[in-house]
Homo-oligomer: A and B are copies of this chain.
Amino acid sequence: MTKAPAKPTRARAASGKKKTPTVSAEPTGDGRVVIEAVEPSVDRGFLATKAAEGDVVEVTADIFSDGHDKIAADILHRKVGEGEWQRAPMHFVDNDRWSGSIAADAIGAHEFTIEAWRDAFASWHAEVGKKRDAGQIIELELLEGTALLDRAIETVPESQLARLEDLRARLNGTDAEGRWGVFDSPEMREAMAVWGPRSNVSRYRQVLPLWVDRKRAVFSAWYELFPRSAANDPERHGTFDDVIARLPYVRDLGFDVLYFPPIHPIGTTNRKGRNNSLTAGENDPGSVYAIGSEHGGHDAIHPELGSFDDFKRLVAAAAEHGLEIALDFAIQCSPDHPWIKEHPEWFDWRPDGTLKFAENPPKKYEDIVNVHFYGASLPGLWYALRDVVAFWIAHGVKIFRVDNPHTKPLPFWQWLIADINAKHPDVVFLAEAFTKPKMMKRLAKVGFQQSYTYFTWRDDKAGLTEYVSELNGEMAAYYRPNFFTNTPDINPYYLQTSGRPGFIVRSTLAATLSGSWGIYNGFEICEYEPLPGREEYLDSEKYELRARDFDAPGNIRDHIAALNRARQENVALQDVRGTQFLNAWNDNVIAYFRATPDRSNAVMVIVNLDPANVQSADYEVPLWEFGLDDSGTIAVEDLLAGHASTLAGKVQNITLDPADRSVVVWRMSLPK
């Protein structure tokens, strides 16, 4: 056997100076501990993952290295622009997967990455432990361990020095077994895990963005009404004061966001008449989406609604009722919009010098024109639109429902939302896109805090299960669904024929499957009259003033209020994540379970999707989620009807009669 030189560490030091490489690429040795497949990541880590204030964000990654050395890893995270990295330890899960978590404790832009290293002491401890257990002599190994401790003592912060020196002192005057006992002690292992030598420290190549919103971005209940109908009189244009008078009604339904379609001046050129007719009657108010007249554009209020002072009073009164006002941000203009004269370069013109109207050939929309976003519009128009949003923020609005964002450039939204949120991290944008799935997703990825969904068209068990599961998968990192049951544009076929039970079904699904949900007014009185053969409302409020009897018999106001109360009182219903569908052996009956990770709050919902017939089903109670075996008993509290009971055994049967109840919403807990 070859003898080593007496001081190998000196030999190392002598040759430590790197030679000139003989090829261009000198090896750096970086990346010995591999960190890959870091999640959550949006668009391969280039766009922000989203969280809500108070969330615990789980971060996972594949982390491994060559050989058998022990490794360790931290998440590094911080609020953007706020100095040093904070560290959160990761732990091994299985199959080279590691996990850790960071608390989303402040709204705004955060960032995180991962650092991993080889832990010399833990490696030494594991190896020497095996040798010692096999009865081998470990005297030399103990010297190696002592050297590791001495290295730690050299570099430890002053505050930790006594702790390590105390451990060092305990090694003196004891035999090998005694010293092993010191090295094997929890005190030593904990101290060395933090302060021991770390070699081959790897940093993940990307710093991943994380955006933290206020809670309302994921948990909100929306009520939509047209302020001009707030007088509830087709002969009198509603005002903001009329809306103020309706606030107690909306509050009593339990909603927390009150959303208005556009409130701006409406153009007269080519004004649409009732039911989207091409010619308006003398008193027809026109489409609220034909924005702009001689009274102003996107930063003006339609004169018949009231003044800015009235609007200010409305915002304040809403807040007193626990309601936040959301405005529509619809970029198109009526032909009378001031911008057309002030900024002709933002619009398209025909070869004959006329304005190019909006169209979707062969259809034409002659009451509106679209801006274009490039050429002479960039950046002037972009700033003007940003300033419109900033204007309404200055008037107390923090939530914007954005009309048809998928027909405007994605880079515009990415810039606009980042720009607004940089100053106002509490502002929330809802994307009203009903289009192909990848565009829907991309809008969320580039910044929209909330998104409309396909929920409106998912009314059977398979479709609901598949769609909600998709939303709960990788989409949950960036996509916050808002399940609207209906909108002024969408009168779903299901509701046109379902009668009252269908409204119970759809509101229950929306309110309990998604952190955010909403209704357009009239839903609560089971309004359903369609344009014949169309998925639209007859006498659409978009083109006329409407009155309704909100006390009409058969209304489901109490049911909606109960749903919103259940949502407020059960945190398991305040996010989109983690919905678990349960076995129910009837395709008309859907059952699901939602719970906090610690099961301190848990809700099971069972819905008869068939509005016309009694349906019975055997179904599985998720006893396993509470650590119970199949014969266990669970306490159940009916959140709609109020009574309490117990369920014993995993398989139960339920009968849901639309004439009586189509749904149950049960809070579950271990019996006291």
Interface residues of A (CB under 8 A from B): 1-6, 8, 11-16, 18-19, 21-23, 25-32, 34, 36, 43-46, 62, 64-68, 95-96, 127-128, 130-131, 133-134, 136, 140, 143-144, 147, 199-200, 205, 269-270, 335-336, 340-341, 344-345, 347, 349-355, 359-362, 373-376, 378-380, 382-383, 406-412, 414-415, 418-419, 422, 436-439, 442
Q: A8 contacts which chain B residues (CB < 8 A)?
A: 344-345, 347, 349, 353
A126 to chain B, nearest CB (A): 8
Contact B379 A438 (CB under 8 A): no
Interface pair A29/B374, CB less than 8 Å apart? yes
Query: Does the CB pair B362–A28 fall under 8 Å?
Result: no
Report Cα–Cα, A374/B14, bound state, in Å. 14
**Contacting residues, chain B, for A200 (C-beta < 8 A):** 374, 409
Minimum Cβ distance to chain B for residue A20 (Å): 10
Whether A25 contacts B379 in the complex (CB less than 8 A), given A409-B66, A436-B96, comes out as: no
Q: Which of B68, B96, B373, B437 contacts A438 (CB 8 A)?
A: B96
Residue of A44, A199, A382, A407 with most partner-chain B CB within 10 A: A44
| Contact status A95-B437, CB under 8 Å | yes
The minimal Cβ–Cβ distance linking A13 to chain B, given in whole angstroms, is 8
Bound Cα distance from A142 to B386, whole angstroms: 36
- Say whether, besides A25-B418, A130-B362, A376-B12, A4 and B355 are in contact (CB < 8 Å): yes
Chain B residues closer than 8 Å to A341, beta-carbon distance: 2
Q: Contacts A2-B341, A3-B353, A350-B140 given: A29-B411 contact, CB under 8 Å?
A: yes
Chain B residues with Cβ below 8 Å from A144 are 350-351
CB closest residue in chain B, given A96: B438
Q: List 26 A-B contacts (CB under 8 A).
A: A1-B270, A1-B335, A1-B354, A2-B336, A2-B341, A6-B353, A11-B344, A15-B380, A19-B383, A21-B379, A25-B415, A26-B379, A27-B379, A29-B412, A31-B410, A31-B411, A34-B410, A46-B205, A66-B409, A67-B408, A96-B436, A140-B350, A144-B350, A144-B351, A147-B351, A200-B374
* Docked complex Cα distance between A439 and B95 (Å): 10
| Chain B residues with CB below 8 A from A415, complex form | 25, 27
CB-based nearest B residue for A45: B44
**For the complex formed by this chain, how many copies does it contain in all?**
2
Can you name 10 extra interface pairs (CB under 8 A) apart from A11-B345, A27-B379? A2-B335, A15-B345, A18-B378, A27-B378, A27-B382, A27-B415, A32-B374, A34-B442, A127-B361, A144-B351
Q: Which residues of B contact A62 (CB under 8 A)?
A: 438
With a cutoff of 8 Å between Cβ atoms, the chain B residues found around residue A4 in the complex are: 344, 347, 349, 353-355
Q: Which of B16, B205, B437 contacts A375 (CB 8 A)?
A: B16
The docked-state distance in angstroms from the alpha carbon of A609 to that of B411 is 57
Whether the Cβ atoms of B355 and A1 lie closer than 8 Å is yes
Q: In whole angstroms, how far apart are the Cα atoms of A345 and B15 in the complex?
A: 8
CA distance A642 to B269 in the complex (A): 83
- CB closest chain-B residue, reference A31: B411
A199 cross-chain contacts in B, Cβ below 8 A: 374
The 7 residue pairs across chains A and B that have the minimum distance between CB atoms: A134-B362, A12-B376, A130-B361, A143-B351, A8-B349, A27-B415, A4-B349
Q: Are A409 and B32 in contact (CB under 8 A)?
A: yes
Give Cα A144 to B140, complex, Å. Answer: 87
Chain B residues with CB under 8 A of A438: 36, 62, 64, 95-96
Interface centre among A29, A46, A144 (most CB of B within 10 A): A29
- For A18, list chain B residues within 8 Å (CB): 378-379
Given A11-B344, A27-B412, A351-B147, CB of A96 within 8 Å of CB of B439: yes
Within 8 Å CB of A378, what residues of B? 18, 27, 29
The answer to whether A28 and B411 touch (CB under 8 A), given A18-B378, A269-B1, is yes
Q: How far is the CA of A383 from the CA of B26 in the complex (A)?
A: 9
Task: Determine how close the nearest CB of chain B comes to the CB of A365; give it in whole angstroms.
Answer: 13
Do A383 and B351 touch across chains, with their CB atoms under 8 A apart?
A: no
Asked whether A383 lies within 8 Å of B29 as measured between CB atoms, the reply is no
What's the nearest-Cβ distance from chain B to residue A21, in Å?
Answer: 6
